[in-house]
Structure 1
Amino acid sequence: MSGAVIFDLDGTLVDSAPDICAAAGSVIARHGLEPLTLEQTRSYVGHGAEQFVQRCLAARGVADRPGLKAEVLAGFLDIYESAVSLTVPYPGVVAALGQLAGMGLSLGVCTNKPAAPAHAVLRHLGLDGHFAVVIGGDSLAQRKPDPAPLQAAIAGLGATATVFVGDSEVDAETAQRAGVAFALYTEGYRKAPVSDLPHDAAFDDFADLPGIVQGCLGLNGVA
């Protein structure tokens, strides 16, 4: 068996909401709009940059203003790749990645964040070396919750058994549609109650993840 663990990025491996909030705020301020709160930002993340911008504009009541969405999206993407200074890994992530690699598992990322900003954040935090495959929101024509991006990550790793780790409704649906085990990180950007999301395991501490993966993949005796 070739085992793999594939992670969502924002809200799962890293808390990037402060950077996203600052980037979006600077762009919409050019159009005389009030900046987002951090809470709003977290609630809008998950469906990719285009949907994020759409939600920002809808919250300010200007989603139908001609040409505004395209202009704001272009401005947001222009600074998004370098918006990394406020992003931090969640506690225990680095140690968990090392343990999973030590178990002989391949690691990947499947995110709706565009690929360039995803790679930039991973490089900035020194996490890029852990992942053999990174699938971004613009890597394929489809985005999560379509299962195609996760299936592409699985194929890229050559995995025959996979656990997908995510924090949201989008991630839960993606795993379900791809037919893979899902481990739900409960401290990310999830909006619905944990009980409403299909999952094989839920955790709030990354120290628990290696054991969860071991159970999901049936790796008896592996520590």
Structure 2
Amino acid sequence: MARIVFDLDGTLIDSAPDIRSIANTILFESGLEPITLEETISFIGNGASVFVEKMRAARGVPEDDHARLLQAFQDRYDSYFELTAPFPNVREALAHLRVAGHRLGLCTNKPMHATRAVLSHLALSDPWDVVYGGDSLDRRKPDPAPLLAAFAEMGNGPCLYIGDSEVDAETAERAEVPFLLYTEGYRKTPVDQLTHRAVFSDFAELPELVQSQLAVQA
């Protein structure tokens, strides 16, 4: 059976509305204009510090305020879940893959505490053999180290990585593992400009896609 590792935000869950809510609460407290959902999505992918850096730059906030804004963001990050939900058919796809005997892992740039919190809130804690957050190692995606560590911890077998973004595509390429691209997440780059083995737009397609990709690797 295969080792299948997933990204989280933009791949399994749509968390951008809550992330935007956190950002706009912080901006409001500083007397600044809110950011749009489109801006929010464009800032997601490289962890909280980079998100805050991009948010700050978009509203002309000086670098001296970065630590304060980041702390305010992180203080809320573990508990803003009201607008976050799994993408359609995620639960069913994960259950199907688990029943088929595949080992499942997560590799996200979201901090581990926030990752565990949102998985618990959404009742998605059970399927995982391994979970790596953005602070599990001293490096994070697109550095391949966390992804490779997740695969190593899952034992032997074919590898697949599933994500939605430029960061995920680069991580898979650097780790030299096949990448399946979910097209309905937070990607900003055209699909044909990202290195990938296959694409899908609905998680209902994923179990069959996994089987076809494993047949190619066999």
TM-score, length basis structure 1: 0.94
Query: How large is the RMSD of aligned CA atoms in angstroms?
Result: 1.3
Match of 1:202 in 2: 199
What are structure 2's unaligned runs of at least 5 residues? none
Q: What letter corresponds to residue 25 of structure 1 in structure 2? A: N
Q: Which whole-Å CA distance do the structure 1 matches of 2:214 and 2:176 have between them?
A: 13
Q: Which whole-Å CA distance do the structure 2 matches of 1:111 and 1:99 have between them?
A: 22
| Matched-pair contact (CA < 8 Å) for 1:8–1:111 | yes
Q: Which whole-Å CA distance do the structure 2 matches of 1:63 and 1:165 have between them?
A: 36
Match of 1:99 in 2: 96
Q: What letter corresponds to residue 43 of structure 1 in structure 2? A: S
| Matched-pair contact (CA < 8 Å) for 1:54–1:63 | no
Give the deviation of 1:27 after TM superposition.
Answer: 1.4
- Alignment of 1:213 with 2:215, yes or no, is no
Give the deviation of 1:159 after TM superposition.
Answer: 3.7
Q: Which whole-Å CA distance do the structure 2 matches of 1:87 and 1:159 have between them?
A: 33
Q: Which whole-Å CA distance do the structure 2 matches of 1:216 and 1:20 have between them?
A: 33
What are structure 1's unaligned runs of at least 5 residues? none
Match of 2:150 in 1: 153
* SS in structure 2 at match of 1:198: coil
Q: What letter corresponds to residue 159 of structure 2 in structure 1? A: T
Deviation readout 1:67-117 (Å, 9 max, x if unpaired)? x10000001001100111110000010000011011110111100111111
Give the deviation of 1:158 after TM superposition.
Answer: 1.5
* SS in structure 1 at match of 2:27: helix
Match of 2:135 in 1: 138
Question: Which 4+ residue blocks in structure 1 deviate beyond 6 angstroms?
Answer: none
Give the deviation of 1:218 after TM superposition.
Answer: 2.1
Match of 2:58 in 1: 59
TM-score, length basis structure 2: 0.96
* SS in structure 2 at match of 1:24: helix
Match of 2:37 in 1: 38
